[in-house]
Amino acid sequence: MTQIIDGKAFAAKLRQDIKQQTDLLKSQGITPGLAVVLVGEDPASQVYVRNKGKQSIEVGFKSIEHKLDATVSQAELLDLIQQLNQDDSIHGILVQLPVPKHIDDKAVINAIAPEKDVDGFSQLNVGRLNIGEQSLVPCTPLGCTMLLKDYFGGDLTGKNAVVLGRSNIVGKPMAALLLQESCTVTIAHSKTKDIETVCRAADIVVAAVGRPQMVKKSWIGEGAVVIDVGINRIDVDGKTKLVGDVDYDDVFDNAAAITPVPGGVGPMTIACLLYNTLTAAKMQRG
């Protein structure tokens, strides 16, 4: 029987644990604070930012949102980040991506103080992750790793893991985390030769390519565990449907376990943002 990995339930439990630890921290006089910065009015980003704020409040954090006009200058945005860097009541800073084209996103990300970089996107945190030092780790790959470790009883040693996709936000940090867990890691991407055969040899497949239902049954070896990071909107009979990068129905019988879309990896991302903010608050306590 294929197991459906319930990311929604796992995320709810993680938020409960975070709330308990937050209560404890508050009793010691520290309230974790998360600042989320949104530039412009991208509808998807607005939904994400609203949910981040709402869930921050639910676990007992201080939550602040800065909504800036799409025409804001890079200098003004960098000024705001400096203010937040210096604000002791703020432990985590997140600038929702993408930012408008006239702003250099690298400059913005690297302006965030590394100890407050709860996305884990800054050069220092990326470097730390890749040399196995303690760092703040990108939320989505962190969530995938938690789900995998839970499924495998805490130990991923020696598993053959194939990561589909090489983005800085998911693919690359995912590979680094799996390597840290002593997996044998392959990163496959659009230029990989015979990607289907590469993928079929995996015990663990993490799909993060942004292409609806690309991964078919023939890609998944008998008994593999499939983690689907994709969130794609497609049109089915005139209705919008949310699907992953994996063709769920097609793959289902081959997999030992699989994350659904929605309700798999998605809810883990914000839960891990809260986890990182709590970690950042504890680290800054000294």
Residues marked active site are found at 52, 96, 119
Contact with ligand GUN (CB under 6 A): which of 119, 181, 228, 247?
119
Ligand-binding annotation for 231, yes or no, is yes
C-alpha to C-alpha distances, 269 to 35, 48, 81, 147, 237, nearest whole angstrom: 16, 10, 23, 11, 30
Contact with ligand GUN (CB under 6 A): which of 93, 139, 225, 272?
139
Tell me the site size for ligand GUN, rule CB under 6 A: 8
Q: Is 245 in the site for ligand GUN (CB under 6 A)?
A: no
| Residue span 92-111 as binding mask against ligand GUN, x where in contact by CB under 6 A, dash where not | --xxxx--------------
The number of CA neighbours under 13 Å toward the Cβ of 186 is 19
195: tokens are 């990607």
62: tokens are 């201080």
What is the rounded CA–CA span in Å between residue 270 and residue 231? 14
Chain residues 140-169 in contact with ligand GUN, contact rule CB under 6 A: 140, 169
Phi, psi of 263 (to 5 degrees): 100, 5
**CB 140 to ligand GUN: min, Å:** 6
Residue type at 237 in one-letter notation: D
Q: Is 22 in the site for ligand GUN (CB under 6 A)?
A: no
Q: Is 228 in the site for ligand GUN (CB under 6 A)?
A: no
201: tokens are 């040899």
Strand 92-95 with 184-188, pairing: unpaired
Contacting residues toward ligand GUN, per CB under 6 A: 94-97, 119, 139-140, 169
Residues placed in the known binding site for NADP(+): 165-167, 231
